[in-house]
Amino acid sequence: MSPAQQLRARLAGPGIVVAPGVYDGLSARIAALAGFEAVYVSGGAVARSSGVPDLGLLTMTEVLGRLREVVDAVDVPVIADADTGYGNALNVRRTVREFARLGVAALHLEDQVTPKRCGHYEDKQLISVDEMTGKVRAAADARGDDGPLLIVRTDAIAAEGFDAAIARAHAYVGAGAEMLFIEAPTSVAQIERVADELSVPLLINMFAGGKTPLMNAQDLARLGFKLMIAPSDLQRAAIRAMQDTARELRESGSTDRLADRMATFTERDDIIGLPSYRELESRYA
C-alpha cells in the first residue's frame, strides 16, 4: 500500500494515531524507532529549526526540502503541515501536487491569511469562508483519488468564536475535506463539543503551554478523535538538552558529567542506519 493508503487503513481501525512532531531526518528516525505509527512534520518546528519563528517566513521550496528529508528517512506515514498552501487556490494546487510527489501520506491546510502564524499566538486573521472553500476544492482536485489524505484546519475559535469554527468546519467538509482540525480549543468542554458536533475523522493538537488543555491519547480516543499530533515536544526536549550540554561545555570545558544523558557514539550511528550503509558499501566494493 502507498503511505496514504496505510494511514487511511490505520485511521479506519480502532483507537487513535499519535504522531509526534519532527523537523528533519534525524528527529523523524528517532520517532519511528520509538515505535510511532506516523510522524508529523510540523511547520512551526521546521521554522524554528531554521532559526526563525512560526510566522509563515519559510517558502514552499524550503519546506519541501525538509519534507523530502523526512520521507526518505522513515518508512512510516508522514503527515505534512502545508500551512495556508503558500498563497491562493492556484498556489494550493501546486503545493498539494508537490507534497504528493514526495510521498506524504496526509497534509493539512489552514484558513489563516498569508503569511500565517502559530495557531496558539494572538491576533490571528482568517480568510473568508468562500475563499477557503475554494482552496479546499483546489486541494481536493489536485490530490486526486489516490493522493494524500486532505486535512483542513480552522483557526476560527480565536478569531470568530466556537460556533463559527464549527460552521466553517462543515463548509470545508462540503468542499472536500476528509479530516478536520479545529485548532486551539480552550477548554475540555470545547474539545468534547468538537467531537460531538462533527461526524468526520478529527485531528487534535496537544502540547504543553498552548491554549488547549492537555488530555491523554486514550481519553481523546474515547471521545472519537482519530489523530493526535504533538508538534513541538521532541524539539523542545532537544532544545533543553542542547542548552544544558552547551552550558556544561562552555563552563567546564568538557561534557564528561553529562555522558549518561548523551547517546553513545555507537547509538548515534545506529539511529541513522550506519550498519546498513556499511553492508551496502561492502556489497558494492
Catalytic residues: 40, 54, 81, 83, 108, 110, 118, 153, 183, 205
Cα 23 to Cα 5, 53, 152, 194, 226, distances in angstroms? 23, 14, 21, 28, 22
Strand partners, 257: none
Q: Count Cβ atoms below 10 Å from residue 161 Cβ, excluding itself.
A: 11
Q: What is the 3-state secondary structure (H, E, C) of the chain?
A: CCHHHHHHHHHHCCCCEEEEEECCHHHHHHHHHCCCCCEEECHHHHHHHCCCCCCCCCCHHHHHHHHHHHHHHCCCCEEEECCCCCCCHHHHHHHHHHHHHHCCCEEEEECECCCCCCCCCCCCCECCHHHHHHHHHHHHHHHCCCCCEEEEEECHHHHHCHHHHHHHHHHHHHHCCCEEEECCCCCHHHHHHHHHHCCCCEEEECCCCCCCCCCCHHHHHHHCCCEEEECCHHHHHHHHHHHHHHHHHHHHCCCHHHHHHCCCHHHHHHHCCHHHHHHHHHHHC
**Residue 15 phi, psi dihedral angles, 5° rounding:** 80, -165
